[in-house]
């Protein structure tokens, strides 16, 4: 499996010289099978979606966009995804089930007067559906969806496997705000999170704040770096990517956090950076 990080920032894009190395685009991760050049499964549609056309070498997108939830920073890239807004593209968008048609949920922020067009005005073949908790077959991957705590609408974390390797994606996760302080004061290591992350090759996890910052911003529903690292260690994840960086977190500050936690025994800790690629597993003979 190939994992391309197209957007790693949280809450809002960031621009300027202090954010070039980590990148300023919001959440979007592209997954491709080993034998394929083009990604067919995209996790979230933040402004990082604008970086996906470079992975498609000028071709159309034909696949699925899987949204963890519907906050602005995770769907603002949809109308600006050139590889899907063209006649020869075929795009399916899946959102967490909330008892309302998916296209109507998307229209709440993508329609006049908030935006000039609606999702159904995009070119190409688009379909919009919902996904519920459980195991699903999506674009040749096995996807486990579980609801996780994050303020402001139903939010899913995902575990994606191709039979050789696995990735867990918990981009927005606020256990402390919803479930209490837990054993370390930064939230409990609850069953859904442990199930999604158990033994994965790569855990992509919300690390917007530090433990010292978390009390001030608890109402936004995000995690501390310390939670992300300890969850990875407890769940037996091989590598944790610190993701969804705060929009004010400069390159130097991200690097300092990364260096601080790289000494954690039992797990490799890496700060997510836009444009990074991870190749996981090896196909069985």
**Positions of E strands within 44-197:** 62-66, 90-96, 125-131, 134-138, 141-147, 156-161, 166-170
Range of the domain at 57: 2-276
Q: Within a domain: residue 64?
A: yes
Strands 62-66 and 41-43: parallel
**Residue 159 · residue 200 · CB < 8 Å:** yes
Per the structure, how many domains does the chain have? 1
- CATH number, domain of 26, equals 3.60.15.10
Is 281 a domain residue? no
DSSP 8-state secondary structure symbol assigned to residue 54: G
pLDDT beneath 50: ranges in the chain: 283-285
Q: Is the pTM of this model over 0.85?
A: yes
Q: Rounded CA gap, 11 and 245, in Å?
A: 8
Instruction: Find residue 204's DSSP bridge partners.
Output: 169, 241
Indicate whether 283 belongs to any domain. Answer: no
How many whole angstroms separate alpha carbon 194 and alpha carbon 255?
A: 27
Residue with tokens 């089930």: 97
Give the residue among 232, 218, 192, 250 at the shortest CA–CA distance from 9: 250
Q: What sign results for the dihedral spanned by CA atoms 254, 2, 70, 157?
A: negative
CA separation for the pair 208, 175 (Å, rounded) = 13
- Tell me, what's the pLDDT at 282? 61
Q: What is the pLDDT, as a whole number, of residue 264?
A: 85
Q: Is residue 253 exposed (0-12), middle (13-18) or buried (19+ Cβ within 10 Å)?
A: middle
| Residue 284, in any domain of the structure | no
Is position 282 within any domain?
A: no
| 131 domain-assigned | yes
Q: Is residue 107 part of a domain?
A: yes
Please report the DSSP string for 196-261 in residue order: HHTT-SEEEEE--B-TTTHHHHGGG---BHHHHHHHHHHHT-SEEEEESB-TT--HHHHHHHHHHH
Question: Is residue 285 a part of any domain in this protein?
Answer: no
């Amino acid at each position: 499996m190939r994992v391309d990080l197209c957007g790693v920032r949280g809450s809002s894009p960031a621009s300027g010289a202090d954010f070039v190395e980590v990148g300023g685009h919001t959440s979007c991760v592209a997954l491709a099978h080993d034998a394929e050049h083009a990604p067919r499964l995209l996790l979230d549609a933040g402004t990082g979606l604008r970086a996906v056309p470079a992975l498609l070498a000028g071709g159309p997108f034909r696949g699925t966009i899987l949204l963890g939830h519907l906050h602005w920073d995770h769907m603002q890239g949809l109308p600006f995804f050139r590889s899907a807004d063209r006649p020869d593209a075929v795009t399916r968008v899946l959102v967490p089930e909330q008892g309302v048609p998916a296209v109507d949920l998307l229209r709440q922020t993508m329609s006049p007067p908030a935006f000039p067009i609606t999702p159904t005005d995009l070119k190409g073949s688009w379909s919009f559906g919902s996904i519920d908790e459980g195991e699903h077959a999506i674009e040749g991957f096995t996807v486990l969806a579980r609801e996780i705590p994050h303020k402001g609408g139903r939010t899913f974390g995902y575990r994606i496997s191709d039979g050789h390797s696995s990735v867990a994606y918990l981009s927005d996760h606020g256990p402390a705000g919803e479930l209490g302080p837990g054993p370390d004061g930064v939230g409990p290591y609850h069953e859904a999170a442990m199930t999604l992350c158990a033994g994965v090759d790569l855990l992509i996890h919300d690390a917007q704040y530090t433990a010292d910052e978390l009390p001030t911003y608890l109402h936004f529903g995000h995690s501390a770096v310390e939670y992300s690292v300890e969850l990875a260690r407890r769940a037996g994840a091989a590598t944790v990517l610190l993701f969804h960086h705060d929009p004010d977190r400069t390159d130097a500050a991200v690097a300092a956090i990364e260096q601080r936690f790289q000494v954690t025994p039992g797990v490799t800790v890496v700060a997510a950076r836009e444009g990074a690629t991870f190749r996981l597993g090896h196909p069985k003979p």
